[in-house]
Amino acid sequence: MFRANLTACADAVQDHLNAQLNGYGDTPVVQAMRYTLQGGKRMRAFLVMESARLFDVPHDRSIWPATGIEAIHAYSLVHDDLPCMDDDDLRRGRPTLHKKWDEATAVLAGDALQTFGYELTLSPKTGDAEVRAHLALALAQAAGAQGMVLGQALDIAAETATAPLTLDEITELQQGKTGALISYSARAGAIMAKADDRPLADYARAVGLAFQIADDILDIEGDPEKAGKRLNKDEAAGKATFVSLLGMDTAKHRAKSLIQDACDAISQYGPKAENLRDLANFVISRDS
């Protein structure tokens, strides 16, 4: 049931992104934006739409910030894959953008995807001005130099550091690099409903950390074909990960206990939060 719900959300997100990119013309940059916006689990969009559903915010409002966060996520992947960053050739089983086009197109398409994320989020169809301004500001705070980009900067710094990162440092890195957007996505529904977003922030903190631990586990135990990307990167680069620091068994145990924390944080929402509980469990059981 959960898999079907996630797929239905991904399909709705894809349709909406395609429709919104129509009328943007057909320059190579827009073609590259379309290419990048194909596929993916759409976990962040699902978080937006499911947290919105807790407060009865309708689908045709929440689809706007849901697609907005996917555009922001897509921009970060495109720039992260660049030769001067992670230098990856493969993403979701397909050539990365700078391999299929070129670096200039990848820089520009990433830039335009970030802008597109704000444009979607700020659509008048998202809600009243208070909701739109609040969402967009929360998104900027999550994406910027105190959120996602901070995490990426710490990640780059770690590559040339003399000592491997400690558990605290890896946790800070993760909270920026993947945690900040996950937190924004989970809080988005409460922001749209002008409700208290703290329970969802607690949920997201645990899910985000579990997600990163699961990623580190997948990097070692995963199947590259299913993952659609290069694996064993961190191990090969001698980078500290949750697995290298905690050991595989403790890492798996820690991920499970975080999922319990996440489910506890949203217990007040009852049966309506079932999809969010299922998502938390999915995060540590996925194979890609």
Q: Let me know: does 180 contact 151? Beta carbons within 8 Å.
A: yes
User: Cβ of 121: how many Cβ atoms within 10 Å?
Assistant: 25
**Under the criterion CB under 8 A, does residue 128 sit at the interface with a second copy?**
yes
Expressed in angstroms, the distance from the first to the final Cα of the chain is 19
Give 219's contacts (C-beta < 8 A, 6+ positions apart). 231, 232, 233, 234, 235, 241, 243
Q: Tell which positions 136-155 bind a second copy, by CB under 8 A.
A: 136-137, 139-141, 143-146, 149-150, 152-154
**Under the criterion CB under 8 A, does residue 110 sit at the interface with a second copy?**
yes
**Under the criterion CB under 8 A, does residue 25 sit at the interface with a second copy?**
yes
Pattern 81-100, binding to a second copy, x per CB under 8 A? -x-xx---------------
Among 6, 13, 33, 52, binds a second copy (CB under 8 A): 33
Alpha-helical segments (H) within the chain: 2-21, 28-36, 43-54, 59-80, 97-100, 103-121, 129-143, 148-160, 167-174, 180-192, 198-221, 224-227, 233-236, 242-246, 248-265, 274-285
Is the Cβ of residue 50 or residue 197 nearer to a second copy in the bound state?
197
Minimal distance, residue 30 CB to a second copy, in Å? 6
Q: Let me know: does 125 contact 60? Beta carbons within 8 Å.
A: yes
Minimal distance, residue 115 CB to a second copy, in Å? 4
Phi-psi region of 206 (alpha: psi -120 to 50; beta: other; left: phi over 0): alpha
Q: How many residues contact a second copy, by CB under 8 A? A: 51
**Under the criterion CB under 8 A, does residue 237 sit at the interface with a second copy?**
no
**Under the criterion CB under 8 A, does residue 38 sit at the interface with a second copy?**
no
**Under the criterion CB under 8 A, does residue 102 sit at the interface with a second copy?**
yes
Q: Where along the sequence are the contacts to a second copy (CB under 8 A)?
A: 24-25, 27-30, 33, 75-76, 79, 82, 84-85, 102-105, 107-108, 110-112, 114-116, 118-119, 122-123, 128-130, 132-134, 136-137, 139-141, 143-146, 149-150, 152-154, 156-157
